[in-house]
Structure 1
Amino acid sequence: MALLVALGLLVAGFVGGLIASAVAIIPLFFLGFGVTSTFVLVLATIPQQLLFAGVGALYARLRLNSLPIRRPDRGELTFAAGATVVAVVLASVLSYALTLTNIEPVESVIGQVAQNDPTVLLALAVLSIFLVAPAEELLFRGAIQGRLRTAFGPVATIVLASLIFASPHVFNYLGNPLAIVATTGVIFVTGSILGIAYERTGNLAVPILIHAAYNTTLFGIAYIQLVGF
């Protein structure tokens, strides 16, 4: 039952967000904006994340009777900093390892837009701090991991929540299905680090900080690679 509820929360947030995003961006096409324009990508991101936040916060409040988020103490801030470094290093190593295989590399929607306008990476970095990280952690750690915890042990809870977290990211990539699955596996690893942080601290602010710092770091690195110093 807990797993079905967790999947239902994902569907509610993801499908609802897709509908809201479509309603927001369809008028832009009639105004001459292309599918791969920065404005369209950023605008489409906002309704999706707001749905994630709304579904996650509402369920946690009504069904879990708590949303454990508070100002991190010094130990939690230190833990968040270390976990961010680990997440960035692991993602970089795993991504590089994929380039050494015979698996055809994937193309990301964000990457395609960034090739034409690198500033989209800076916009997404800002969104990550103020919207994406809080919204996704409210849903995937606060609500989904919180619900799974009522039925499973910590290891199974983190694994299941991380798989659910990684699954919507499949739609961010284009290319060989095997390559998409392998690339999404990197996101599963990141989700596992976020899940461990939540289980260890019991404070949703910690994975939010890690998530925001992780995304911002990767977007910053990608921006520098595209435009140089």
Structure 2
Amino acid sequence: MASDHRESAGVDGQSALLDLLSAVTVIALAVLLGSVAASLASTVLIETGIAGFDTTLNYIVRSIAQFVGFGIAVAAYLTLADAWSVLRARAIDLRGVGWIVAGVVTLLTLSTGVSAVLSQFGIVPATNQVIAMGRENPVVFLYMIPVTLLFVAPFEELVFRGAAQGLLRRAFGPAVAVGIASALFGAVHLIALIGGGTGQLAYVVVAALLGVVLGGIYERTQNLLVPIVVHGLYNATLFAIQWVDATGSAPALL
């Protein structure tokens, strides 16, 4: 597999540090612009009387705006840094479909297995805000299925696998890039959690492990669209399960 690992060309540690800082910067910009976009969208809805802050509509629109903000931040950064070459994407072929199926199954199995292991030690991962809101109003889970497929997964993968992992790959190679990008992916989820202490740490670790799977799939397929679809289908499946559980349409999962 061809590599754009800079160290193979004898690039010094200063350039590697620059790529590391670039990866952290693009993530920070995405989070910042996403927060600003979400706030502006919410303000417009409130000021126009369309939807109050605590309404489902406001939450869904905020979520969409946040992840669109992610995309704008990445596009702006890669344009200014002339670094679009770090992205790898093409149409999904039959091999890609196989990776998608295997990826979704792996993520579901891994998250279930890790949660089961943590429960043996009395550790319960913190709750994501969207899950807490959906348990109070289950229709949120249904709205979040298209939102996660069209906005959350594409733009999160663009930030963490496409931009951050791509920038890190130039300096450290694929394996280290996957590890660092996944750790950052897990850490960023802290801002969306309810709870603290061990529960937050457990959630971050699980998210980071899932990130390793997504990052590995990206490196194996050389196609960003594959982890995007895997991520979207995984989230959509979890939202569907949460909706079934919250509405009492099926027994709660053990």
TM-score over 0.5 (shorter chain): yes
Alignment check: 8 A CA contact 1:95 1:183 kept: no
- Give the aligned CA root-mean-square deviation in angstroms: 2.0
Pairing partner for 1:84 from 104, 112, 120: 104
What displacement does 1:116 show? Answer: 2.2
What displacement does 1:85 show? Answer: 0.3
Within 2, Cα distance between the matches of 1:2 and 1:190?
23
Alignment check: 8 A CA contact 1:56 1:138 kept: yes
Which deviations, in whole Å up to 9, do the C-alpha atoms of 1:47-85 show, x marking residues without a partner? 211121122344446314353211111111101111110
Pairing partner for 2:89 from 69, 89, 95: 69
1:33-182 matches, within 5 Å, as 35-60=53-78, 62-65=82-85, 67-103=87-123, 106-182=126-202
State the structure with more CA Rg.
2
Within 2, Cα distance between the matches of 1:121 and 1:100?
28
Number of corresponding residues: 229
Gaps of 5+ in 1: none
Within 2, Cα distance between the matches of 1:197 and 1:97?
24
Within 2, Cα distance between the matches of 1:208 and 1:195?
11
Alignment check: 8 A CA contact 1:99 1:105 kept: no
Q: 1:157 to 1:221 in 2, by over 3 A?
A: same
Alignment check: 8 A CA contact 1:87 1:214 kept: yes
Paired position in structure 2 for 1:185: 205
* Counterpart secondary structure, 1:150: helix
- TM-score when scaled to structure 2? 0.83
Which deviations, in whole Å up to 9, do the C-alpha atoms of 1:2-59 show, x marking residues without a partner? 1111110011110111111112113545649565432222111112111211223444
Paired position in structure 1 for 2:13: none
Gaps of 5+ in 2: 1-17, 250-254
Within 2, Cα distance between the matches of 1:46 and 1:222?
20
User: Larger deviation: 169-178 or 90-99?
Assistant: 90-99
* Counterpart secondary structure, 1:65: helix
Which deviations, in whole Å up to 9, do the C-alpha atoms of 1:107-157 show, x marking residues without a partner? 331122112211111111111111111111111111111100000022110
Q: 1:123 to 1:59 in 2, by over 3 A?
A: same
Within 2, Cα distance between the matches of 1:223 and 1:51?
27
Within 2, Cα distance between the matches of 1:32 and 1:115?
24
